[in-house]
Amino acid sequence: MDENEQIVEEAEAAASEASDSKSLYEAKMRFLGRQGKIASLMQRMKDLAAEHRPAFGKQVNALRARLEEMFAEHEVHMKERELQRKLAGEQVDVTMPGRRHAEGTLHPVTRVKNELIGIFSGMGFEVFEGPEIENDYYNFTALNTPADHPARDMQDTFYLTDEFLLRTQTSAGQIRLMEKKKPPIKMLSPGRVFRSDDDATHSPMFHQMEGLVVDKGITLCDLQGMLDEFARTMFSENSKTRLRPSYFPFTEPSVEVDVSCYMCGGKGCALCKGTGWIEVLGAGMVNRHVLENCGIDPDEYTGFAFGMGIERIAMLKYGINNIKLLTENDVRFLKQFKE
């Protein structure tokens, strides 16, 4: 009996000393494990006389039951203590001010570009991007503008060498595409272009969106129908377009495209300078020489092309009065274009 009490005391002490579940389990095994104290007490049974065995066995079993109960209680407490410790370690002060992440916005030029791609890809156009450094052939000669052509003066060009230049127009992409792909063609070509030009509405670097359609039986009506759809989506449901005769060496006939003023609806206001119309892009039927330069038979195929300044569209759409605002990256300006 004394020995039993002593074992209970020892086990109590070992359980109380355990600092975590693992050491508590180890202590438990020292008493209740397969090689623990209880097991070795049971071993002694075989040395006893047969008549003492039942009583002895009963005592050891009672002792085992006490120890099991005692360890179970300690385990419950230990789990509770460990949970508390974990919670204390993971404590969060919900009253602390949070860390704010500044949220960016898409630049107005990017927004208009994406919107244009959305409109025209809905009509089946595919995006094709040409290089910013072009050679004379793609930027001018193949576009029906040979070296001594007066139309070269329409755009003040940055030459890198006699042969290479910064492209002045995304029209160069028309040639690159038509050299590779034969009709039917429906191409959209966004990109940066460069001209030695600098005032409130012109910047030496700006973006254009070029469009090109070549197929059998394409007419100027197809161009205007498609531009009407573009104007309705980009400006207002009631927008109309108007074509005025113009000149580009790579289109014949060439047109300047106006959109009815979305501010006054065509009555005349400050935005449209009283005319009711706003000029938005240049376009025309692809000149037969251009098709020939790309190995496309102009008697079989016709096409139209258009080119617009993305900054210009953005300025019209958002009422921006100086093109410099689009490159200065002043966050007070950019913040206003949140979705």
Q: Which of 136, 293, 307, 323 binds ligand PHE (CB under 6 A)?
A: 307
Instruction: Tell me the closest approach of the beta carbon of residue 97 to ligand PHE, in angstroms.
Output: 52
Distance, CA of 310 to CA of 112 (rounded, Å): 7
169 binds ligand PHE (CB under 6 A): yes
Other residues' Cβ atoms within 10 Å of the Cβ of residue 125: 20
Instruction: Tell me the closest approach of the beta carbon of residue 239 to ligand PHE, in angstroms.
Output: 20
Cβ proximity to ligand PHE, 210 vs 258, nearer residue: 210
Cβ proximity to ligand PHE, 235 vs 306, nearer residue: 306
Cβ proximity to ligand PHE, 183 vs 282, nearer residue: 282
251 binds ligand PHE (CB under 6 A): yes
Instruction: Tell me the closest approach of the beta carbon of residue 121 to ligand PHE, in angstroms.
Output: 19
Instruction: Tell me the closest approach of the beta carbon of residue 264 to ligand PHE, in angstroms.
Output: 27
213 binds ligand PHE (CB under 6 A): no
306 binds ligand PHE (CB under 6 A): yes
190 binds ligand PHE (CB under 6 A): no
* Torsion sign across C-alpha atoms 331, 333, 334, 339: positive
Size of site (CB under 6 A) for ligand PHE: 11
Q: Which residue is nearest to ligand PHE (CB)?
A: 307
**How large is the angle between the packed helices 53-89 and 21-32, nearest 10 degrees?**
180
Distance, CA of 167 to CA of 150 (rounded, Å): 18
Backbone angles phi, psi at 52, to 5 degrees: -90, -15
Q: Which of 206, 248, 262, 301 binds ligand PHE (CB under 6 A)?
A: 248
* Choices 5-13, 259-267, 299-307, 321-329; region in contact with ligand PHE by CB under 6 A: 299-307
Instruction: Tell me the closest approach of the beta carbon of residue 295 to ligand PHE, in angstroms.
Output: 20
230 binds ligand PHE (CB under 6 A): no
Cβ proximity to ligand PHE, 41 vs 293, nearer residue: 293
- Here's the x/- map for ligand PHE, 261-290, by CB under 6 A: it reads as ---------------------xxx------
Looking at this protein, which amino acid is placed at residue 186?
K
Task: Judge contact between 74 and 18, C-beta under 8 A.
Answer: yes
144 binds ligand PHE (CB under 6 A): no
Cβ proximity to ligand PHE, 31 vs 206, nearer residue: 206
Tell me the CA distances in angstroms from 324 to 106, 172, 278, 312, 320, one per residue in order. Answer: 17, 26, 21, 12, 10
Which residues are CB-neighbours of 166 under 8 A, at least 6 positions away?
Answer: 132, 133, 134, 157, 158, 160, 193, 194
* Choices 91-99, 159-167, 237-245, 304-312; region in contact with ligand PHE by CB under 6 A: 304-312
Cβ proximity to ligand PHE, 71 vs 206, nearer residue: 206
Distance, CA of 134 to CA of 321 (rounded, Å): 31
* Choices 41-49, 51-59, 126-134, 300-308; region in contact with ligand PHE by CB under 6 A: 300-308
Footprint of ligand PHE (CB under 6 A): 169, 171, 210, 248, 251, 282-284, 305-307
